[in-house]
Amino acid sequence: MRIFLYILLLSILLISCEENFSPKTEFKEKYVLYCLVNADATWIQIQAFAWIANIYDVEGIDPNKKTIKPNIRGAKLTLFKKNFQYPFYEYSEVHTSQYDTLKNYFITNISNPSPDRDISIKAALTNGVVLSGKTSIPMNLNLEFSYTFASGFTTNINKFHHGYSWIIDWSGSFGEHDEHLFFTKIFINYYKQVGTDKIYGSVEVPIKIIQKNGQDIPVYPTYTYTHSISFDYDAFDWAMKQIAGNDPNKADYNIINLILSIDEFDLNLSKFYSSVNGYLDQFSIRIDERTYSNINGGIGIFGSYTSTMIDFEINKAYVESFGYKRY
Amino acid sequence: MSKFIYFLIIYTLSVELCFSTGSLRGFVTDSTNGEAIVYANVYIESTQQGVATDTRGYYFIPSIPSGTQLVIVSCVGYKTKKNDIAIQNNKITELNVELIPTTFQIDDLYIYGQKSAENETNLGLEKIYAREIEILPTGIESDIFRVIQTSPGVSTTGDITSKYYVRGGGSDQNVVLLNGAPIYYPYHALGTMSVVDPEIINMLEFFKGGFTSQYGGRLSSILNIVTKDGNKNKFQGGAQASFLSGKLFLQGPIPNGSFFVTGRKSYFADVLKKYFNNKDAPFDFYDVTFKVSYSNQAIDKDSKFIVHGFASGDFVDYEDELKENYSIRNQIIGMTWDKVWSSPLFSHFELSYSGFQAEVIPNLSNSKPRSNQIVDITLKSDFAYVYDNKDEFGIGMENKYFGSKLNVLNLYGQRMNYDEWGWDLTIYSNYKFLRWEKIGFDIGVRAKLLAISKKRPFLLEPRFNFTYHPTALVSLKASVGRYSQEVLTLTDENELISIFEPWIIIPDYIEAPEATQFSAGLEMYITENMTFEIEGYYKLIDNLIDINRKKFSAKDNDYVNADGHSYGAEILLKFQPRDFFIKLSYALGWAYKVNGGKEYYPRYDVRHSANILFGINFGNGWQGNLMWTFNSGMPFTPIAGFYDRLDFPTLPPSLYSTNFIPVIFWGDKNSARLPVYHRLDISASKEFEIFITDITIGVNIINVYNKKNIFYFDRDTGEEVYMLPFFPSAFVKVEL
């Protein structure tokens, strides 16, 4: 019986030896196309940027060790809107990105696509590979507010009647089931007079302030699929206080305005953003989740977005209640 | 067909009329506490007839020649008892036997009466005694699922989770029944251990396939947990403490019955830090189980009434609004009524409620809000009639109300709402041909008259089991059966650890899954103390449900149908010389899934797996155990390259400052294999007495030689993440 036990232990020890193992498989050539269309609020002309790269391999599993630039040059890119074609032009310049990878890009300008918002892209590479995709550009948003401020923004309102939050609702080009992503931000712009110089700054307004261990913790808006957002009035007061902080010379601060911006991603960009930033919870462990792609013949994204921005004046008495001046 | 039925009736009657015989029936219980002894052997010496008691300790032997007969009753861990009993012609004689326990000997562990029930048609059934759970080296707590995982053909995807996969089926194709009622989330602490306290267990029946027509609703396996009734003779209480939790238990007699209650509560969740990526989570869990048995012969002769209950809860409750909270709860309340009628008829009625609630409360974090509620109310009745020629006829009915509410926001921000309910009405019947000495058949069918899911039509699920004994020491078995399932979890294979696994009724837009399983095997005694089993299977699964990975819009369906099949072979060798025991198991298996026309290996496809369980009794209360587990590498998705992915460092994205980050480009799904997995666990314990107190202290070491088993590759960095490292723990148990 002892012999059996010895064999057992020996087997365990032999098998216990660590083996070489690589998590990689055979590398195959594949191409990546990104094209973003920024349909800004002017709607006169919109600009499309595109990047093309290839998938690459490195020694080991750290992609930062790559020695080759993945950019693809010489491709013919065309943007299509109904019967019109818009060729892209290739540019090369030093890109200041953290990873210094895609230094050359393609740009084209197209006329306001409304009311025909559907556009498509085709990229013909020099080796015959064709990449293509389609998108539909979102239109600007129509906004509604729970309270309109006749003499500039203030939190000194009858909150019992009008509520303790400023609620902003919007509607737009999205269909009932087209769940676009929205990014909402409110900033208070100001400058500080230092001698003859003006030092400009801005403070982002959180949606609410929560108490944790006796301290105020601001909660800022994240992306949302809903067509509404709510900012507590207390959060505006908190943001106003942050402008000067502990600086006793509050009169040096001039409050310029309050800016509300809502960015809307189209369906493709919304899916892409969600698949990249998707977060279930802090415990679930997910593996090999793939990123959303709408590029035929390769991977990547062809998407568009619009920005809706509104400038609000801030009530003079409200500004002065903090010891500031109104610009 | 009608000729065949006439033949059966005439043959049955002729056999009954030809001999002067009587029957013997009764219950076998433990003399110290009155607990039913499961699978005890009751043996008539002169005729060499024998049966094993069922999970209630009940037995019935028909066709015993009238006159005085020597009845031998034996069971592992008990002194064998012999009785001379007068069997009367055409009458049922009752014999209730109390067996006296002997000092526990490890070498008794696997000796039980398979030989006395030679033509039993139970292929795929593994009987696991409470003692087998106790001797296994534990992780942080002793756990029934660890025992299940030592069974050949059962695989797992890691040390961290107790989830198990049977013969290539998904984890939600298994059901855990507690006294007949299903537990929908049988795990504590995100799946690290079972919610069922081993202290309450009398017996486990584990069907890996070939389960008879009494069981349904799942494609792969049934784990039936039979809990203790409680000590009928005296009050007993005790406490146990481990690194993770403490528990109390109490049992004792009540007028005409007994009770058992146990409760467990976590108090030191720090030990779980080794298990999770989040090291600071305030894990908290509890479970409570009770059972009350009542049997008053004056009110209802030969019957037993049981009320049982169970509740468990798992929580992560941050006192921080910026972090998400979790809660998972199970509840069971049920009652059973068993009665032995004056004719050789046994009836069993069961009414149970099983509830499950799970919720992810995001508060102000970025987690997605998710919630799921389940209500399962089951009414079940079984009748079993034993003929004089030993054949058995069984018929039963199961009526189930199942309601499910699900509200989730998925990874892509899409909201899903399901609020479904349905009635299930199934009748089932089986006939066991046990009249022949060397051949046994069990032919049965389940007929689904009403279905929970709207798309399920009337369905017949035939079951067939066959046994042949060429010699007394060898049995050949085969089975074929069709199985269906209408409720399932929304398990995403890409989630190795999941906080939220909701149950739903199969949505109307997809087909309900069905499986057909064929299996055949051989069991034999090589020597008096060595048994050998080999079994092969082929399982074909239609209409599996898989996550729709192309759902990026609310208009898309959440789930799609997939297909699958699996096949393999399993070997089990048990060897128990005088002072130690060894259990060796090996399984060879293949599992496939087909989704969207692409065939791939699911993560739980393990080609080779082996377990060695070794126990030794040193005497004077000292006991040592060792378990070594080996699995060939699990499938994983390899790295096929890298690319620079568009990133938005600022929002709104600025075209001029748009950034790119290098990320992994994954290859074909599960197209590569991880390195082999193996792990050695050891434990030692010492039992001693101080005054009237029994004390057991023990130590366990997980992963003795600290093998770095790869759990997964981080999807962001590609780096290896390992399973449990070398990990010692200890426990103390005090019993009054």
CATH number, position B41: 2.60.40.1120
Q: Which of B314, B371, B552 to mutate to test the interface with A (most CBs of A within 10 A)?
A: B552
On chain A, the residues whose CB falls within 8 A of the CB of B675 are: 19, 21
Do residues B90 and B147 both lie within one domain?
no
Question: Do B493 and B382 belong together in one domain?
Answer: yes
Give backbone dihedrals phi and psi of A307, rounded to 5 degrees, phi first. Answer: -120, 130
Distance (Å) from the alpha carbon of B544 to chain A's nearest alpha carbon: 21
Question: Looking at chain B from residue 500 to 529, which residues have their Cβ under 8 Å from any Cβ of chain A?
Answer: 500
Mean pLDDT of B9-38: 70
Interchain contact, A288 vs B665, CB within 8 Å? no
Identify whether B87 is part of a domain.
yes
Domain boundary among B107, B139, B164: B107
- The overall average pLDDT reported for chain B is 83
How close does chain A come to B547, measured CA to CA in Å? 12
Are A283 and B499 inside 8 Å of each other by CB? Answer: yes
Which of B643, B664, B710 lies closest to A53 in CB terms? B643
pLDDT for position A238: 96
Query: Is B411 in contact with A278 (Cβ distance < 8 A)?
Result: yes
pLDDT of residue B131: 64
Q: What residue of A is the nearest CA neighbor of B581?
A: A1
Residue B434 and residue B396 share a domain: yes
Q: Taking CB atoms and an 8 Å limit, are A281 and B360 in contact across chains?
A: yes
> Residues B327, B438: one domain?
yes
Q: For residue A65, which residues of chain B lie inside 8 Å, CB to CB?
A: none
> Which two three-digit tokens encode residue A173?
């080009």
Q: What ipTM was reported for this prediction?
A: 0.83
Residue B117 lies in a domain: no
Reported as a single tens digit per residue, the pLDDT across B588-619 is: 999 999 887 889 998 889 999 999 988 888 88
Distance from CA of B107 to the nearest CA of A (A): 15
Distance from CA of A228 to the nearest CA of B (A): 15
Strongest mean pLDDT among A141-145, B299-303, B388-392: A141-145
pLDDT one-digit tens code per residue, B259-276: 999 999 987 666 566 555
How many domains in chain B? 3
- Check A287 against B680: CB less than 8 A apart: no
CB-nearest partner of B660 from A102, A274, A289: A102
Q: By C-alpha distance, which of B466, B474, B374 is closest to B420?
A: B374
> What local confidence, expressed as pLDDT, does residue B107 receive?
41
pLDDT for A257-305, tens place per residue? 999 999 888 888 888 887 777 655 555 555 556 678 899 999 999 998 8
Report the alpha-carbon distance of residue B378 to residue B335 in Å, rounded. 11
Over residues B490-515, the mean pLDDT reads: 80
Q: Which residue has the higher pLDDT, B404 or B415?
A: B404
Chain A residues near residue B713 by CB distance under 8 angstroms: 23, 287
Three-state secondary structure string covering A238-283: HHHHHHHCCCCCHHHEEEEEEEEEEEEECHHHHHHHHHHHCCCCCC
With the C-alpha atoms ordered B295, B301, B302, B304, is the resulting torsion angle positive or negative?
negative
Please give the interface size between A and B, counted as residue pairs whose CB atoms are below 8 Å apart. 229
Q: Decide if pLDDT at B376 tops 90.
A: yes
Please give the C-alpha separations between residue B130 and each of B200, B228, B525, in angstroms, as whole numbers: 9, 10, 23
Say if the Cβ atoms of A63 and B675 lie within 8 Å: no
Segment A220-235, tens digit of pLDDT: 988 787 889 999 999 9
SS3 B312: strand
Q: What is the DSSP track for B254-297?
A: ETTEEEEEEEEEE--GGGGGGT-S-TT--EEEEEEEEEEEE--T
B554 in A contact zone (CB under 8 Å) = yes
Q: Is it the case that residue B108 has pLDDT exceeding 50?
A: no
Residue B15 has pLDDT above 50, yes or no: no
In a domain, B112, yes or no: no
The pLDDT value recorded for residue B157 is 81
Measured between alpha carbons, how far is B438 from B243 in angstroms, rounded to an integer?
Answer: 52
Residue B591 lies in a domain: yes
Question: Mutate which of A67, A285, A305 to disrupt the B interface (most B C-beta within 10 Å)?
Answer: A285
pLDDT of residue A327: 82
CATH number, residue B300: 2.40.170.20
Contacts of B462 (CB under 8 A, 6+ apart): B444, B445, B480, B481, B482
Lowest model confidence (mean pLDDT) among A306-310, B66-70, B274-278, B405-409: B274-278
Answer whether residue B658 is part of any domain.
yes
Collapsed DSSP state (helix, strand, coil) of residue B549: coil
Domain-terminating residue out of B107, B141, B160: B107
Residues B187 and B245 both lie in one domain: yes
Domain span including residue B70? 2-107
A-contacting residues in B 641-680 (Cβ below 8 Å): 641-648, 651-653, 655, 658-669, 671-672, 674-676, 678, 680
B628 and A57 within 8 Å at the Cβ level: the answer is: no
Domain boundary among B76, B107, B138: B107
Residue of A34, A281, A293, A294 best to disrupt the B interface, most CBs of B under 10 A: A281
pLDDT one-digit tens code per residue, B530-555: 889 999 999 999 888 877 766 665 56
With an 8 Å Cβ cutoff, are B577 and A25 in contact?
Answer: no
Asked whether residue B442 falls in the same domain as residue B519, the answer is yes
Token pair for residue A65?
């060790």
Higher pLDDT, B422 or B735: B422
**B chain contacts of residue A262, beta-carbon cutoff 8 Å:** none
A295 interaction partners in chain B (CB closer than 8 Å): none
CB–CB contact B645 A102 (8 Å): no
B337 — pLDDT class (breaks 50, 70, 90): very high
Q: What is the pLDDT of residue B140?
A: 61
Which range among A34-48, B360-374, B719-733 shows the weakest confidence by mean pLDDT? A34-48
The better pLDDT of the pair B381, B453 is held by B381
Question: What local confidence, expressed as pLDDT, does residue B203 receive?
Answer: 82
Chain B residues whose CB is inside 8 A of the A19 CB are: 675-676
Contacts of B552 in chain A (CB under 8 A): 267, 271, 274-275, 292
User: Does B536 share its domain with B678?
Assistant: yes
For residues A166-178, give the mean pLDDT. Answer: 77
Determine contact: B273 vs chain A, CB below 8 A: no
CB contact under 8 A, A56 and B554: no
Each residue of B232-265: pLDDT tens digit?
888 989 898 887 788 899 999 999 889 999 999 9
Give yes or no for residue A201 having a pLDDT over 90: yes
- For residue B568, pLDDT over 80 is answered with yes
Taking 80 as the threshold, does the pLDDT of residue B291 lie above it?
Answer: yes
- pLDDT of A11 over the 80 cut: no
**Same-domain check for residues B266 and B377:** yes
Q: Output B69 or A212, whichever has higher pLDDT.
A: B69
Region B132-161 average pLDDT: 77
Residue B639 forms contact with A (CB below 8 Å): yes
- The residue type of B232 is K
Nearest CA in chain A to B408: A280
| B118 in any annotated domain | no
Q: List CB contacts (< 8 A) between B647 and chain A.
A: 276
- Residue ranges in B344-489 assigned as alpha helix (H): none
Are the beta carbons of B412 and A183 separated by less than 8 Å?
no
Question: B157: left (phi > 0), else alpha (psi -120 to 50), else beta?
Answer: alpha
The more confidently predicted of residues B225 and A38 is B225
Q: Please choose, from the candidates A221, A303, A224, A234, the residue with its C-alpha nearest in 3D space to the C-alpha of residue A260.
A: A221
Q: Are residues B529 and B502 in the same domain?
A: yes
Phi, psi of A180 (to 5 degrees): -80, 150
Q: How far is B494 from chain A (nearest CA, A)?
A: 5
Parallel/antiparallel/unpaired status of strands A45-54 and A104-111: antiparallel
The answer to which of B11-15, B71-75, B393-397, B662-666 has the lowest mean pLDDT is B11-15
Residue B178 pLDDT > 70: yes
Assess whether B132 and B281 both reside in one domain: yes
Of B497, B638, B708, Cβ closest to residue A25? B638
Put simply, the chain B residues between 197 and 256 with a CB less than 8 A from any chain A CB are: none
Q: Which of B193-202, B401-410, B509-518, B723-732 ranks highest by mean pLDDT?
A: B509-518
pLDDT value for B412: 56
Look at residue B340 in the predicted model and tell me its pLDDT.
Answer: 85
Banded model confidence at residue B8, pLDDT cuts 50, 70, 90: very low
pLDDT tens-digit map of B65-95:
888 888 998 876 678 888 888 888 888 888 8
Q: Is residue B543 situated within a structural domain? A: yes
**Chain A contacts of B645, Cβ < 8 Å?**
32, 276, 291
Query: Which pLDDT does position B14 carry in this prediction?
Result: 46
Let me know whether B29 and B78 are in one domain: yes
| Cβ–Cβ below 8 Å for B652 and A56 | no
Residues of A in contact with B497 (CB under 8 A): 283-285
Contact A299 B643 (CB under 8 A): yes
Contact across the interface for B640 and A26, Cβ inside 8 Å: yes
Contact B580, B573 (CB under 8 A): no
Q: Is the pLDDT of residue A4 over 60?
A: no
> Among residues A49, A56, A52, A115, which one has the least CA distance to residue A88?
A49
Does residue A241 surpass a pLDDT of 60?
Answer: yes
- Tell whether B620 and B645 lie within a shared domain: no
Q: Beta B503-505 vs B487-489: how paired, if at all?
A: antiparallel
- Cα separation, A321 vs B164, in Å, equals 65
pLDDT value of residue B629: 92
**Among candidate residues B391, B523, B615, the one with its CA nearest the CA of residue B112:** B523
For residue range B111-131, what is the model confidence (pLDDT) as tens digits?
333 444 445 666 667 777 766
**What is the pLDDT at residue B120?**
62
- Please indicate, yes or no, if residue B83 is contained in any of the structural domains: yes
pLDDT at residue B9 above 60? no
